[in-house]
Structure 1
Amino acid sequence: MVGKTARKPAAKKTTAKKTTAKKATGRKVTSAPTAKKATTKKATGRKATSAPTKKKTTGRKATSAPAKAPVLLSGGNPQIAKGYGEEPIQAYIAAMPGWKREVGARLDALISRTVPSVSKAVKWNSPMYGVEGQGWFLGIHCFAKYIKVAFFRGTSLRPVPPGESKSQDTRYLDIREGDAFDEARFVSWVKQASQLPGERM
């Protein structure tokens, strides 16, 4: 009876070991996938993030701001920034209101043809025409009902332009809508004026 009693505890110990082994093995198998996932994340260095949200679009195309139309001052005279050369002159003519635009373009063409080397500028909101080294000989300005052409040495021209001025040397030619325009006389005045000393440039 003593011998039988000694064998039973040994059997119990073996069973206990087997159970422990199974439990340990079961833990390893279960944790293996988790270890793989962690390794994959570390290898890629990427963080798991949700899908990027799309930005809302307005459906509008990106465009530059439209150029502002020149402001017309009192009397309908265009406000053009001071500048030299053809560009500011053409900007002024393009901004002349109504019938004045066509007349302005015609005057500019006649002056350019008569004096091929003419210098041009917009100063004091008026197109100016001159000769390098001699000065400005003619200016144009818009008023409500007419265009005023100023010959800065007008009293020296023949015949003298009709419009009087407070300035001793200046004479004016006023052009109104529907007026008969003597192109030949105007060209003669431009040619004479371009050969005289003008206003300081």
Structure 2
Amino acid sequence: MPKATPPRLLAGGNPQIAKADGDAPVQAYIAALNGWQQDVGQRLDALITHSVPGVHKAVRWNSPMYGMPGQGWFASVHVFTHYVKLTFFKGSSLQPAPSGGTAKEARWVDIREGQLDAPELEAQLAQWVQQAAAMPGWGKA
């Protein structure tokens, strides 16, 4: 059996992963990350999975997506050179709203190396994940 070719890394180290549903493509995305970005990806995936039992996972547009069946996507992860971006699609409705970036209703948090070691950030992210999962999301999960 031929050896699987590792995913191609795009700009900023973001892995090119084919569109697919389920945990397996998300884990393939995380496994393709390098160093501290892989640690952040693993920790975010674990935080989301723990905070939202029954979360639906997929990879779309080379990004892990998290949603609730029948409610749509509530968050995505995307890797850049100096940070990992966690986007909440209805982030303007979260309390308090993430102050990272803004685009229409979306808000995001740029997580840099070592930042998740701060317990207060991890606790805030868990609160936002739970809030976001409880409201109608974007698209179809």
| 1:156-167 matches, cutoff 5 A | 156-165=93-102, 167=103
Q: What residue number does 1:103 align with?
A: 40
Q: What residue number does 1:169 align with?
A: 105
What is the DSSP-based 3-state SS (H/G/I as helix, E as strand, rest coil) of the residue aligned with 1:99?
Answer: helix
What is the DSSP-based 3-state SS (H/G/I as helix, E as strand, rest coil) of the residue aligned with 1:127?
Answer: strand
CA distance in 2, matches of 1:199, 1:74: 25
Post-superposition offset of 1:97 = 1.5
> Is there any run of 5+ residues in structure 2 with no aligned partner, and where?
none
**Amino acid corresponding to residue 196 of structure 1 in structure 2:** M
Post-superposition offset of 1:183 = 1.2
Q: What residue number does 1:119 align with?
A: 56
Q: State the structure with more CA Rg.
A: 1
CA distance in 1, matches of 2:134, 2:3: 42
Q: What residue number does 1:198 align with?
A: 137
**Amino acid corresponding to residue 137 of structure 2 in structure 1:** G
CA distance in 1, matches of 2:95, 2:54: 23
CA distance in 2, matches of 1:102, 1:154: 24
Alpha-carbon displacement from aligned partner over 1:122-144 (angstroms, at most 9, x marks no partner) = 00000000001110000000001
Q: What residue number does 1:183 align with?
A: 122
**Amino acid corresponding to residue 10 of structure 2 in structure 1:** L
CA distance in 1, matches of 2:83, 2:51: 23
More helix by share: 1
| 1:42-53 matches, cutoff 5 A | none
Alpha-carbon displacement from aligned partner over 1:9-33 (angstroms, at most 9, x marks no partner) = xxxxxxxxxxxxxxxxxxxxxxxxx
Alpha-carbon displacement from aligned partner over 1:115-163 (angstroms, at most 9, x marks no partner) = 1110000000000000011100000000011000000010100111111
**Amino acid corresponding to residue 82 of structure 2 in structure 1:** K
**Amino acid corresponding to residue 139 of structure 1 in structure 2:** S
**Amino acid corresponding to residue 113 of structure 1 in structure 2:** H
| 1:127-146 matches, cutoff 5 A | 127-146=64-83
Alpha-carbon displacement from aligned partner over 1:67-109 (angstroms, at most 9, x marks no partner) = 1111000111000011000100100000011111011111101
Q: What residue number does 2:17 align with?
A: 80
CA distance in 1, matches of 2:106, 2:24: 27
CA distance in 2, matches of 1:192, 1:135: 14
Post-superposition offset of 1:164 = 2.0
Runs of 4+ in 1 over 6 A off after TM superposition: none
More strand by share: 2
> Is there any run of 5+ residues in structure 1 with no aligned partner, and where?
1-63
Q: How much identity, in percent, do the aligned residues show?
A: 54
Question: Could you state the TM-score of these two structures normalised by the residue count of structure 1?
Answer: 0.66
Q: What residue number does 1:90 align with?
A: 27
